[in-house]
Structure 1
Amino acid sequence: MQYLQNATIYLTQALLAIVLYVVLLRFWMQWVRADFRNEVGQFIISTTNPVVIPLRRIIPSIKTVDTATLFLAYIVALIKLLALVAISNSGIPWSAYFPTLLVVAIGALLEACIYLFMAAIFISFIVSWVAPHSYHPVLSVVRSISEPLLAPARKLIPTIGGLDLSPMLVILFLNVSLQLLVAPLLGFRI
């Protein structure tokens, strides 16, 4: 029975994490004004539009922030936590966890954003070594998301013999942010 519960928890985490990352990709691609005319952008738009478009009628954007997409990402993070509490079947009613889960969902959302940035920077860093001038729709999205973080770091750390060390500085900053901002919120985790 424990194996079935572990498998269910793993599958729930994986599927809802994929949904969360797709929604967050939409949010961050809009924020950095990435090109949605490639295959990746079209996939993200087509999979998220059925929920985001109706939400925009209820939740308007605030200046350049697409609050409907951000709210959807928060709801997905909250659903993920609620599902995990329900699957763990601890015997305590979920309503006792709900106020805590509202805070933990913010931490989970921040954690997912930081991991998304780390993945984008890591992929961009590796591709710059292996095939620096290649084009792929995924690389276009990765570069669009990582460049706003890497550009200020490049001003702080110049290249050394053609080696760009700015990704290491940004990854270090993101890890510190993970420890200082996200860990306290996720400390409530059940």
Structure 2
Amino acid sequence: MGTSYMTDPFIFLIDTLFSLYILAVVLRFLLQWTNADFYNPVSQFLVKVTHPPLKIMRRYIPSVGRIDSSSLVLAILLQMTADFSILAIKGLMVSFPALMILSLTQLISLFLNVFIFAIFARAILSWFDPGHYNVASSILYSLTEPVLNICRKVVPDLGGIDLSPLVGLVLLQLAKMIILPPLQQLASLIG
């Protein structure tokens, strides 16, 4: 009982700190990929928070087109470090391939969740103050528009009612159900 008394808060702290920083790296990657406003305060915050490690990594890892490879590598390395640390504290050891698959699974889940929450938040904001510009709506628009444009091509126009957010949420949730379980099983088999 004495061991779990201190390990649970320590695991919580490690998981929270790593998760917040990984989220910042992922958001920076996505906002750069979607050409969001660089001068937006949210973008500026994410750039300042993630700049120190990325400045070093960009010397060795070049971007590929619009894809900031160094941000993806940093996110993977941070997720693997967090997973390894938490598993080690719990007294569990997994092989490197299993750790990599586990970490990739969690990052894919994070990417999908970012889009799910962004679409949901954008829909909620549109109900309260439609057409009004603010920092959050600008970022949400930039982040969600690529996904919603794909959905608009599939869903016909229904007389001014845009169902693309609903379709986007359903498709993203289906992607989570289809993509994540096989990866989790693979990680447990290799483990």
SS of aligned partner of 2:59: helix
Percent of residue pairs bearing the same amino acid type:
32
CA distance in 2 between counterparts of 1:100 and 1:20 reads 20
CA contact (8 A) 1:108 1:186 kept: no
**Structure 2 equivalent of residue 86 of structure 1:** 88
Deviations 1:112-159, CA, capped at 9 Å, x for gaps? 100111111010011111111222222211110101000121232235
Aligned residue type for 1:151 = N
CA contact (8 A) 1:60 1:68 kept: yes
Relative to structure 1, is the Cα distance of residues 161 and 129 closer, same or farther in structure 2, using a 3 angstrom cutoff?
farther
TM-score (norm 1): 0.90
**Structure 1 equivalent of residue 33 of structure 2:** 31
CA contact (8 A) 1:158 1:164 kept: no
CA contact (8 A) 1:118 1:174 kept: yes
**Structure 1 equivalent of residue 104 of structure 2:** 106
Aligned residue type for 2:36 = A
| Deviation of 1:11 (Å) | 2.3
**Structure 1 equivalent of residue 45 of structure 2:** 43
**Structure 1 equivalent of residue 150 of structure 2:** 152
**Runs of at least 4 residues of structure 1 off by over 3 A?**
158-162
Aligned residue type for 2:29 = F
Aligned residue type for 1:9 = I
CA distance in 2 between counterparts of 1:121 and 1:157 reads 16
| Deviation of 1:62 (Å) | 1.4
Aligned residue type for 1:5 = T
Aligned residue type for 2:135 = P
CA distance in 2 between counterparts of 1:134 and 1:13 reads 36
Segments of 5+ residues of structure 2 without an aligned counterpart are none
Deviations 1:1-34, CA, capped at 9 Å, x for gaps? 3243222222222221111110001101111111
**Structure 1 equivalent of residue 60 of structure 2:** 58
Note the 1:132-147 alignment, pairs <5 A.
Answer: 132-147=130-145
Aligned residue type for 2:131 = H
**Structure 2 equivalent of residue 164 of structure 1:** 162
| Deviation of 1:186 (Å) | 2.4
Aligned residue type for 1:99 = P
Work out the number of aligned pairs and report it: 186
